[in-house]
Amino acid sequence: MHILIIDDEKNIRQTLSGILTDEGYKVSLAEDGEAGLLKLEESLVDLVFLDVKLPGMNGLDVLKRIKNDFPSVDVLMISGNSDINTAVQAVKIGAHDFMEKPLSLPKILIAVQNISAKRKLFQKSVVGEEQIDHRYKIIGQSKQITSIRDKIRRVAKTDARVLITGESGTGKELVAYAIHKLSSRSDEPFVIFNSAAIPKELVESELFGHEKGAFTGAVRLKPGKLETANHGTIFFDEIGDMNIDAQAKILRVLEEGKFERVGGNRTIDIDVRVLAATNRNIEEMAQAGHFREDLFYRLNVVPFYLPPLRERSCDIPLLLEHYLQYYARELACPRKSFTDGAIELLQNYPFPGNIRELKNLIERLYILSDREEIDIEEVRENLGFQKSKASDIMNTILNQKSYSSAREIFERYYFSEKLKSTNWNISKLAEEIGIHQPNLSRKLKTLGISNHNPPNEAHPD
**Shared-domain flag, residues 349 and 206:** no
Residue 314 is predicted with a pLDDT of 94
Most confident range, picked from 115-124, 147-156, 422-431: 147-156
pLDDT of the residue at 82:
65
| Shared-domain flag, residues 113 and 261 | no
Among 30-34, 104-108, 361-365, 386-390, where is mean pLDDT lowest? 386-390
Residue 455 belongs to a domain: no
**Is residue 319 located within the same domain as residue 419?**
yes
Band of the pLDDT at 457, cuts 50, 70, 90? very low
Lowest mean pLDDT among 30-34, 110-114, 126-130, 347-351: 126-130
Among 126, 151, 178, which residue terminates a domain?
Answer: 126
* Residue 6 counted as domain residue: yes
**Domain-embedded: residue 36:** yes
- Give the whole-angstrom CA distance, residue 243 versus residue 113: 40
pLDDT at 217 exceeding the cut of 80: no
Express each pLDDT in 300-324 by its tens digit: 999 999 999 999 999 999 999 999 9
The CATH number assigned to the domain holding 33 equals 3.40.50.2300
What is the percent of the chain where pLDDT is above 90? 35
At residue 448, the pLDDT reads 65
Report how far residue 385's alpha carbon sits from residue 406's, in angstroms, rounded to the nearest whole number: 17
Specify whether the CB–CB gap between 127 and 267 falls below 8 A. Answer: no
Residues 113 and 209 in one domain: no
Spatial separation of the C-alpha atoms in residues 336 and 352, rounded to whole Å: 24
Confidence grade of residue 98 (pLDDT, cut at 50, 70, 90): confident
Looking at 280, 305, 330, the residue that finishes a domain is: 305
Instruction: Choose the weakest-confidence range: 122-131, 176-185, 398-407.
Output: 122-131
Say yes or no: 29 and 90 in one domain.
yes
| Mean of all residue pLDDT scores within the chain | 84
Q: Which of 157-171, 215-229, 311-325 has the lowest mean pLDDT?
A: 215-229
Tell me the Cα Rg of the chain.
29
> With contact defined as beta carbons under 8 Å apart, do 237 and 194 qualify?
yes
Asked if residue 457 is part of any domain, the answer here is no
Quick one: pLDDT at residue 148? 95
Q: What is the pLDDT at residue 384?
A: 52
Same domain as 298, residue 228: yes
Alpha helix ranges (H) inside 183-267? 203-208, 225-228, 244-256
Pair 45, 73: CB distance under 8 Å = yes
Check pLDDT > 90 for residue 456: no
pLDDT tens digits, 414-428: 887 788 777 778 888
Percent of the chain with pLDDT over 70: 90
Q: Kindly state whether residue 460 falls inside one of the protein's structural domains.
A: no
pLDDT of 436 reads 85
Q: What is the pLDDT of residue 273?
A: 96
DSSP 291: S
Please say if the pLDDT value at position 460 is more than 90.
no
454 falls within a domain: no
My answer on whether 72 and 163 are in the same domain is no
Cβ burial of 436 (10 Å; 0-12, 13-18, 19+) is exposed
More confident residue, 413 or 361: 361
Task: Give me the pLDDT at residue 84, please.
Answer: 78
pLDDT at residue number 358: 94
Q: Is the pLDDT of residue 350 over 70?
A: yes
Question: What CATH number is attached to the domain comprising 394?
Answer: 1.10.8.60
Same domain, 260 and 139: yes
Average pLDDT of the segment spanning 202-220: 82
Q: Are residues 113 and 192 in the same domain?
A: no
Cβ pair 148, 312 in contact under 8 A: no
Count of CB atoms within 10 A of residue 176's CB?
25
How would you class 446 by CB atoms within 10 Å of its CB: exposed for 0-12, middle for 13-18, buried for 19 or more? exposed
Residue 452 domain flag: no
Contact of 224 with 312, CB cutoff 8 Å: no
User: Looking at the domain assignment, is residue 118 inside a domain?
Assistant: yes
Least reliable range by pLDDT among 82-86, 96-100, 181-185, 338-342: 82-86
Query: At residue 164, does pLDDT exceed 70?
Result: yes
The pLDDT value recorded for residue 134 is 57
**Shared domain check, 258 and 353:** no
Are residue 147 and residue 261 in the same domain, yes or no?
yes
Q: Of the residues 238, 273, 305, which one is the last residue of a structural domain?
A: 305
d(CA 425, CA 312): 28
Q: Burial-class residue 101 by CB neighbours within 10 Å (0-12, 13-18, 19+).
A: middle
Structural domain harbouring 243: 132-305
Number of domain units in the chain:
3
User: Does the pLDDT value for residue 378 go beyond 80?
Assistant: yes
How many Cα atoms occupy the beta-carbon half-sphere of 129 within 13 Å?
Answer: 19
CATH number at residue 232: 3.40.50.300
Q: Angle at which helices 426-433 and 437-447 pack, to 10 degrees?
A: 110
State residue 458's pLDDT score: 33
- Supply the angle between the helices 143-156 and 172-181 in degrees, to the nearest 10: 40
The model carries a pTM of 0.62
Contact 263, 270 (CB under 8 A): no
Do 300 and 351 belong together in one domain?
no
